[in-house]
Amino acid sequence: MNREEIMMRVLTATPETIGRVAEVLDGRPTEPTTGDRRLLTLTAAAHELNLSRMSIHRMCKDGRLPTITTRAGRRRIASAAITEFLKGAPNEDRNNHPLYPLPFQEQARCPLPEAAKMQGL
């Protein structure tokens, strides 16, 4: 690749790519973008989270932990998904999931059911 081709690619690059090029040209260390790519069995994930294998199975079934199915039909959990789960990253399913109760302050503001209102509770 000659200089003109390199300049043309730099001029048409995305801002993210230009930022990475600037880091390299400035001599700053760059992080690899691949991250941790390990796939864990349900048993290994249970060990990492200090939970039972059945709890991990339920979390996968409910969608709280995403799984990857191998060609052999075995389920694996990406270590990045476990890291996000431990960080407490919000999941779109958590807001409406019955296993995630509302915080105490929000529970207090919930309106009483009609039967409770009639009984004076």
pLDDT of 59 above 80: yes
Residue 75 three-state SS: strand
Nearest-CA neighbor of 82 among 98, 96, 66, 63? 66
- Of the two residues 91 and 46, the one the predictor is more confident about is 46
Give 9's pLDDT tier (boundaries 50, 70, 90).
Answer: confident
pLDDT of 23 above 60: yes
For CA atoms 30, 33, 36, 38, give the dihedral sign: negative
- Of the two residues 33 and 61, the one the predictor is more confident about is 61
pLDDT for the residue numbered 114:
57
DSSP H or E run through 76: strand 75-78
Across the range 50-56, mean pLDDT stands at: 92
pLDDT of 10 above 80: yes
Q: What domains are defined for the chain?
A: 1-33 (no CATH), 39-106 (1.10.1660.10)
pLDDT for the residue numbered 106:
45
Nearest-CA neighbor of 92 among 110, 66, 68, 112? 66
pLDDT, tens only, 25-50: 888 776 665 567 889 999 999 998 89
